[in-house]
Copies of this chain bind each other. A is one copy, B any other.
Amino acid sequence: MATIRDVAKHAGVSVATVSRVINETGYVHDDTRKKVETAIKALHYTPNEVARSLFKRKSRLIGLLLPDITNPFFPELARGVEDEMQENDFRIIFGNSDENMKKEKEYIQTFVQNNVVGVIASTNHPDTDTYRKLNIPVVFLDRTADNRPSVYADGREGGRIAAQEMVARGSRQITVMQGPKHIRPAQDRFKGAIEALSDQGIAFNVVKTSSFSFTEAGTWAKELFEQHPFTDGVIASNDIVATAVLHEALRLGKNVPDDVQIIGFDDIPLSSLLTPSLTTIRQPAYDMGRAAANLLVRLIDDVNIDNKTIQMPVTFTERDTTRKVNQHG
């Protein structure tokens, strides 16, 4: 790799001058600029980001920490982040945390060691020293922390909507699946749903789950129908679980939505392709990723920011695992 020295030599100028033309800082005569530019081309020179980063004490790298890219909700988020960052000339160091504090800490540490200028994290523990003591901007994604920069959807409201729409469509023996206890958005949805159900005086059962993995989801779905065979409506903690419930319901010969209605959460790409297609509470994942990245970029540039917490809309997306509302008058 050619260095700035090689370029300087080739162009017959000093490294300072080369640096000036590269960074467009300070005066440089047109003729010299041209000489330098030809030298750069001739040597295929590109500046060493590491040396830059060392000197400036900041890089063009940001850290992205997601629970598990294998969960179909996150690729959309990640893509949104990536696209926005790419447009702003930042690169991403990526890690999966598995919702595990230790891993999180390790990643954040290596992020810092690599001089990242900002972090986007989907963590359940934003109020930890891990993040509090960071002296670079952090944006929480799909998570909140009071008053700290974050982009998230209102899970509580989503849960409420799910419950209301399900009741409006006639279910009376509802089972609510409570997502993993340590995952905030899952608990928010759960709370919202049982709140709305209680408000309306509708009884409900609860099935606890402890992960969002595809394989385990199947088990809980089985459990659900064994323990609560008369369930006529399921509010799942997300679309993965909803998909498993749907699969199991069909396997048991139930008619969906006539015997059981199902509402998921997220609207992962797959949901619309299921048969019957899945009614769900949509979160605009891609846009959330973009918004988070955009917010982070602004934070990095130290622009004065008004809205540091961005709440994205959650929308009831009616498809075929729920009945039509007018079927019930």
Contacts and interface: CB of A to CB of B under 8 A. Distances in A.
Contacts of A269: 70, 72, 214
A148 interface: no
Say which size band chain A's interface belongs to: 35 or more
Interface string A1-13: 1000000000000
Contact of A244 (B51, B74, B273): B273
A250 interface: yes
Contacts of A270: 72, 214, 243, 270
A130 to B, nearest CB: 12
A68 B79 contact: yes
Interface of A is mostly: helix
Interface string A183-219: 0000000000000000000000000000000100010
Contacts of A64: 94
With most chain B CB atoms within 10 A of its CB, the pick from A269, A273, A277 is: A273
Nearest to A60: B110
Which 9 residue pairs are nearest across A and B when measured between Cβ atoms? A49-B113, A94-B94, A69-B75, A250-B275, A214-B269, A50-B54, A70-B75, A50-B53, A243-B273
19 contacts: A1-B112, A49-B110, A49-B114, A50-B115, A51-B54, A59-B114, A69-B69, A69-B82, A74-B75, A82-B95, A83-B96, A92-B93, A92-B95, A93-B94, A214-B269, A214-B273, A247-B275, A247-B277, A275-B275
